[in-house]
Amino acid sequence: MSKIVFLDVDGTLINYEAKTPESAKKAIDLARKNGHKVYICTGCSKAEIEQRDLPDLDGMIGGNGAYVEDNGTVVMHQGLSKEDVKHIVDWCNERHLGFYLEANSGMYCNDYMLEQGPATMIKYATGKGADAASAEKSASGFVNSFIHLQGEDLYREDVNKISFILSSYQDHLDSKTEFPNLIANTWGGKGELALFGDLGPAGITKKHAIEVLLDYLHADQKDTISFGDAKIDLSMFELCAFNVAMGNGGPEIKEAADYVTTDVDDNGLWNAFKYLKLID
């Protein structure tokens, strides 16, 4: 029976230097040849994914569920309104917070992101196990991928979600109060150690996006498998029939998993694909 596999990207498909292990590429290629479908299910938007060296896939879920694509066909796209974008942009600028707008056309940042982004992304990479040189290289590549805009040019209509640097955890708590109609998350660390907050449209989750895709494919939930490494992936686990946590994942995702594989850089996908008999 063919399966439908959903892979988180950072820390699951790629490591924290933004590289896909060769064993992961090979596992996905073989699984697809065996008739299984493989999709990424990520917080990243399409523009960011297109900068990554990923294997061929059957499609993607991006923006934590805001965007669904199957073999080049857009199945769903639900982003922020221009009014919400303006509100968030002004709020972040007033607080001197670096942010970037995540759109399928590109990633657009403000002045503060250019100032604060490199150090924050170095913290993110080193916190995930990268050495100092690799963390600096990864951070530089990430920030250099942004398109820098100012003023009203940041009031865009094509934004899936917005990530902003937390000067403290209070910024996240205040964002929940300031934007009660939106979904507020954090990433880059647990609880008060989080490095980023993000804001996206209500009703958008990885779980909902998978439901939309399964309906489009006329596929059955019992044939689904998900892979993740972080709390944001728990919504996938709520829906999918079998769930795999990466060895480098946090305690919450491991506790919710049906199976814990090895680390992303220790053939984690390959070993799990073998265990699940997706590949021989």
What secondary structure does DSSP assign to 114-175, as a single string?
A: HHHHHHHHHHHHHHTT--HHHHHHHHHHHHHTPEE--GGGG--S-EEEEEEE-SSHHHHHHH
- Report d(CA 114, CA 143) in Å as an integer: 7
What CA–CA distance (Å, rounded) separates 249 from 253? 7
Query: Are the C-beta atoms of residues 130 and 7 closer than 8 Å to each other?
Result: no
CATH superfamily name and code, 4-77+204-275: HAD superfamily/HAD-like (3.40.50.1000)
Residue 9 has pLDDT above 90, yes or no: yes
Has residue 111 got a pLDDT over 80? yes
Report, as an integer, the average pLDDT of 156-165.
Answer: 95
What is the Cα–Cα distance from 254 to 252, expressed in whole angstroms?
5
172 pLDDT above the threshold of 90 = yes
Q: How far apart are CA 159 and CA 142, in angstroms?
A: 18
Listed by start position, the domains of the chain span 4-77+204-275, 82-201
CA distance 100 to 111: 10
Asked if the model's pLDDT at residue 190 lies above 80, the reply is no
Q: How confident is the model at residue 148 (pLDDT cuts 50, 70, 90)?
A: very high
> Considering only CA atoms, which of 226, 145, 227, 231 is closest in space to residue 186?
231
Asked whether the beta carbons of 200 and 80 are under 8 A apart, the reply is yes
**Range in 2-6, 11-15, 55-59, 211-215 with the lowest mean pLDDT:** 11-15
Tokens (6 digits) for 258: 């049906």
Check: CB of residue 265 under 8 Å from CB of residue 3: no
Is the pLDDT score of 142 beyond 90? no
pLDDT score of 141 more than 90: no
pLDDT of residue 125: 85
Lowest mean pLDDT among 4-18, 70-84, 130-144, 247-261: 130-144
Pick the CATH number of 82-201 from 3.30.1240.10, 3.40.50.300, 3.40.1390.10, 3.30.565.10: 3.30.1240.10
pLDDT for res 189: 79
In the predicted structure, residue 70 carries a pLDDT above the cut 80: yes
pLDDT at site 110: 98
Q: What are phi and psi of 14, to 5 degrees?
A: -115, 155
pLDDT at 279: 98
pLDDT class of 1 with cuts at 50, 70, 90:
confident
**HSE (side-chain half, CA atoms, 13 Å) at 74:** 8
Position 201 scores a pLDDT of: 93
| 82-201 matches 4-77+204-275 in CATH topology | no
pLDDT at residue 278, as a whole number: 98
Average pLDDT over residues 160-183: 97
pLDDT confidence band for 48 (50 / 70 / 90): confident
CA dihedral 125, 51, 234, 157 (to 10 degrees): 110
Q: What is the pLDDT of residue 134?
A: 85
Q: Looking at residue 112, what is its pLDDT?
A: 98
Query: In this model, does residue 17 exceed pLDDT 80?
Result: no
Token pair in block for residue 117: 């982004």
Model confidence band, residue 232 (pLDDT cutoffs 50, 70, 90): confident
